[in-house]
Structure 1
């Protein structure tokens, strides 16, 4: 079943198209990686999906409903959670309190406590649960943000550069986390670390210049000449 799709999705800024007529389909239960060189339009594209930006043209459909004009908070209520490329935590609150705030959007009472503790454990922050979020290392802030997304019990979890700032050991743990999360949510992963992409994604979509350049399995993308030329062989990949 297709959970998310876009048709002719475009976004222009002062006449410059950042995303150009993108058709995209994401089946439920899949881990999809979205890759491309810097400036390819990846963050703009997912911002259109989650409602942070309004498209210039085209449509976004989620679970069979046209959500193109819905604001971001209504998309969250429908089950779309987006973790930002720049962390968006509440720095003065503890890690536990941050996750609890996210959980309270959908749960009450004892359910909140149960979900918060399970989420903290799942993202590997159990030993830092009471630490002030602003004092966490950058990589741990990224994990906290993922936990805040998970606490919303999303049907679609969009992760924007989640391994940025993580150590090698934390990246290995993150790979396991993503595999575990696939049982609970469909995942759209925007990621520059190609080892992470190749190890976790069922399918990869490649944006270049705001257009969809290629889609396929990790093996197909690795062997795609156009992708190699546009992205995989570049120093900024």
Structure 2
């Protein structure tokens, strides 16, 4: 099956410091693919290149068969890529509905549907800045959904969510596929293991392992580098 998103030999250097190196990655249409790794593994740099916030030093990025390596972020969004930030980026002085409307470009039906899907329909008129952090995270996901993405990249989406909200989030993500492909950057390993079809592990800016949740769980190198540390770092 042709990948909806792929990279070949992707790398990034900052003033001689190698943040990512020779990353070959493929995301199949309709799958939930998790990206994990310890603090400093290079996940943020990698994702920033995927969405067009950073230009690669080498390698290529393809989306839906098209070379988007040098394409600006807004054009990638227009092609069907949506991204939610690790730190919430909602407009605090606007209502929930107004936030989603900005992302939906004014399509009212999309606004209501997006809020319903994340469980915030009854809070549509509330000011986003008055929401709890967890609800702001859900609002940001609604903003992503309102763009009708073919690929939704979620960066630490369960951070700040209560246990009941995490359960609802998992149900939501399962309902999105196969119409929407999901790339999930997440430190909550129970969420990763329950949701992901496949997992890619980064370490020191390179791919350490790729495979099913069972394969990743049983991989000695992954256990030594990440799973065995017990760490739940919030960022890299």
TM range (shorter): over 0.9
Residue by residue over 1:12-35, the C-alpha shift from the partner in whole angstroms, topping out at 9 and shown as x without a partner, is: 112111111100011111100000
- CA RMSD of superposed structures (Å): 0.8
Q: 1:183 & 1:65 partners in 2: Cα distance? A: 21
Could you say which residue in structure 2 is the equivalent of 1:187?
Answer: 182
Residue by residue over 1:29-56, the C-alpha shift from the partner in whole angstroms, topping out at 9 and shown as x without a partner, is: 1100000001101111011000011111
Could you say which residue in structure 2 is the equivalent of 1:63?
Answer: 64
Q: 2:86 & 2:141 partners in 1: Cα distance? A: 11
Aligned ranges for residues 134-213 of structure 1 at < 5 Å? 134-213=129-208
Q: 2:133 & 2:77 partners in 1: Cα distance? A: 25
Are 1:92 and 2:93 an aligned pair?
yes
Are 1:128 and 2:123 an aligned pair?
yes
Q: 2:222 & 2:156 partners in 1: Cα distance? A: 20
Residue segments in structure 1 that go unaligned for 5+ positions in a row: none
Q: Displacement of 1:155 after TM fit?
A: 0.7
Question: How many pairs does the alignment contain?
Answer: 231
Residue by residue over 1:185-228, the C-alpha shift from the partner in whole angstroms, topping out at 9 and shown as x without a partner, is: 10000000000001100000000000000001001100000000
Q: Do the aligned residues in 1 keep the contact of 2:42 with 2:202 (CA within 8 Å)? A: yes
Q: 2:79 & 2:18 partners in 1: Cα distance? A: 28
Could you say which residue in structure 1 is the equivalent of 2:210?
Answer: 215
Residue by residue over 1:122-159, the C-alpha shift from the partner in whole angstroms, topping out at 9 and shown as x without a partner, is: 01112211111111110111101111011000111000
Q: 1:103 & 1:145 partners in 2: Cα distance? A: 12
Are 1:117 and 2:118 an aligned pair?
no
Residue segments in structure 2 that go unaligned for 5+ positions in a row: none
Q: Secondary structure at the match of 2:4?
A: strand
TM-score, L = length of structure 2? 0.96
Q: Do the aligned residues in 1 keep the contact of 2:31 with 2:178 (CA within 8 Å)? A: no
- Displaced runs of 4 or more, over 3 A: none
